[in-house]
Amino acid sequence: MTGIVQVRVLVACLALGLLYRGQAHGAEPLPYPVVDTAQDRCYDATREIPYPKPGAPFYGQDAQYVANPPAYKENGDGTVSDLVTGLMWQKDPGGKKTFRQAVAGAAKCRVGGHDDWRLPTIKELYSLILFSGTDPDPRSTDTGRQKPFIDANAFVFKYGDASSNERIIDAQYATSTKYVSTTMGGNPTMFGVNFADGRIKGYPIGAIRGRREKTYFVLYVRGNPRYGRNDFHDNADGTITDRATGLTWQKADSGKGMNWHDALAYAEGLTLGGHSDWRLPSAKELQSIVDYTRSPDTTKSAAIAPIFEVTRITNEGGEPDFPFYWTSTTHAGASRASAAAYVAFGRALGWMRDRRTGRHALLDVHGAGAQRSDPKAGDAAQFPRGRGPQGDVIRILNHVRCVRGGSATLRAEGPPVKARPGGRASDHPFIRREDRNGDGKVSRDEFRGPPEHFDRFDRNRDGYLTEDEAPKGPPPGRGPRPPR
């Protein structure tokens, strides 16, 4: 759990230096502690499950490892202190700004009586993301069942304003981190965090094709200027230690792609450098080693320091590229848990449709260093043009780079599993009629109509029909369902 209510004990701990390695012995505190994602529920490939036991399928996921739980202190002057990172934030982002306004506004900001505010880097801003949030359907206008990917008790948060022709997922926050390449076929780009849908993407920083400049929410930050700066050391045993975070990494990757279940098993079964306590990293742990000064198009490398070894792949366009890497973090929606987060260390590709010609072009739509999500299992061939608003490429078989150490401890049990794992029983007539396994959605196997109808209704291409996608009446092409 997160929020201001729990911080009093943590404030005392911070004062004693107990949140930092070696502080009790007078050692330097870690300048870059990676904050926990706050995910405390476990999932299989589609739904919530009880915490798996060691050796059981899906053991070793995000919720089962806890490190540096989020803790915030509201200062009563429009600022919020992060008690883990040492960063101080604005509480309220206010109105949206263009990228240029966001950059210029930092020097003018005087919130809390301070004059040293700055536009955060992508690593600073991502420290605030919480994967206790729920990923909305981009076409939905209902926020009632959604939960943002930021502590809404500590910070003021708003979904996109549907009355102003925005999508509810239009809650992108700006950073000072520019992509060293371009996206969408040549657009200058900055990396931002979307606290509505739980992703890092590259966003335009100027006007595109005569349109108005895109605007973003902004949270200025101050303090801990060393946050986000890695300090890698090669241990000469196949491992790399980041002395800034206290985490130790697998120097090479898995060498091949695998689904999420197998990625968890691979990490839990790894023995390397004389250690067997490896794990699949959380989204925030994995993002901590992205090098945003590198990209396939500018340095001919993955977005990671050259001290690491990276498998080269051939991407969907037949070009040399670098993999997506799985995290242990489920990217859950309000009624589904069939996707997990990954970080793109190569191009974050997508199939963009030309409105004039109807043809699709494969582009780097979000930049190397983006964090998106993939189905945990299935056949990528079912997504020939990706999914989502920018046609995000779907691979499912992603690579793995394991982590160990830090302050991570095992959590044996979590909160009680919800009565309907992965969601709730639906009140929608179609979902209620077709949902055989009670997970609040309809899979391709449960759908009784022609496959092409399923594809038409499945607007976000996640392999399921939810309430906002479901047709009215009986399944197309069939009569009433016989009694079961």
Q: How far is CA 437 from the centre of its chain?
A: 28
Residue 473 has a pLDDT of 54
**DSSP strand pairing (199-204 vs 221-222):** unpaired
Instruction: Identify each DSSP E strand in 269-381 by its residue range.
Output: 313-314, 320-321, 324-330, 339-344, 349-353, 360-364, 371-375
Task: List the structure tokens of 46.
Answer: 């589609």
CB contact at 8 A, 233 and 243: yes
Looking at 146-293, list the stretches that DSSP marks H as alpha helix, in order from N- to C-terminal side: 260-268, 283-287
- Going by pLDDT thresholds of 50, 70 and 90, the confidence category of residue 13 is very low
3-state helix, strand, coil in the chain (%, to 5): 15, 20, 65
Mean pLDDT over residues 155-184, rounded? 95
Instruction: Identify each DSSP E strand in 129-204 by its residue range.
Output: 172-173, 189-194, 199-204
Please tell me the distance from the alpha carbon of residue 481 to that of residue 154, in angstroms, as a whole number.
49
pLDDT digits (tens, 9 = 90+) for 430-446: 876 777 666 677 887 77
349 contacts: CB under 8 Å, gap ≥ 6 = 315, 316, 317, 362, 363, 364, 365, 386, 392, 393
Q: Find the largest Cα–Cα distance for the chain.
A: 74
346 contacts: CB under 8 Å, gap ≥ 6 = 296, 302, 303, 313, 315, 321, 322, 323, 324, 368
Most confident of 131-140, 263-272, 451-460, 469-478: 263-272
Residue 449 has a pLDDT of 79
Residue 435 has a pLDDT of 74
Task: List the structure tokens of 128.
Answer: 């605030």
Residue 436 has a pLDDT of 62
Please tell me the distance from the alpha carbon of residue 147 to that of residue 198, in angstroms, as a whole number.
10
Checking if the pLDDT of 154 tops 90, the result is yes
Buried/exposed 178-213: b ≥16 CB within 10 Å, e otherwise: bbbbbbbeebebbbbbbbbbbbbbbbbbeeeeeeee
Question: Is residue 135 exposed (0-12), middle (13-18) or buried (19+ Cβ within 10 Å)?
Answer: buried
Task: List the structure tokens of 345.
Answer: 């260390």
Mean pLDDT over residues 31-48, rounded? 97
- 361, amino acid identity: A
Mean pLDDT over residues 103-114, rounded? 98
Please tell me the distance from the alpha carbon of residue 241 to that of residue 233, in angstroms, as a whole number.
5
- Going by pLDDT thresholds of 50, 70 and 90, the confidence category of residue 419 is low
CB contact at 8 A, 2 and 70: yes
- Going by pLDDT thresholds of 50, 70 and 90, the confidence category of residue 24 is very low
19-28, 106-115, 120-129, 176-185: the lowest-pLDDT one: 19-28
Residue 324 has a pLDDT of 98
β-bridge partners, 324: 344
Q: Could you tell me the sign of the dihedral formed by the alpha carbons of 426, 427, 428, 432, in that order? A: positive
Q: What is the DSSP string of 31-95?
A: SSPPPP-----EE-SSSEEPPPPTTSTTTT-GGGEE-S---EEE-SSSEEEETTT--EEES---S
Per-residue CA distances from 208 to 171, 172, 174, 368 (Å): 19, 17, 17, 21
**DSSP strand pairing (339-344 vs 324-330):** antiparallel
- 38, amino acid identity: A
Map tokens 């919020």 to a residue: 80
pLDDT digits (tens, 9 = 90+) for 91-104: 999 999 999 999 99
CB contact at 8 A, 337 and 43: yes
Please tell me the distance from the alpha carbon of residue 15 to that of residue 375, in angstroms, as a whole number.
42
Q: Give the strands of the sheet with 221-222, arranged side by side.
A: 72-74, 79-82, 88-90, 221-222
CB contact at 8 A, 37 and 282: yes
CB contact at 8 A, 173 and 159: no
Map tokens 């939960």 to a residue: 147
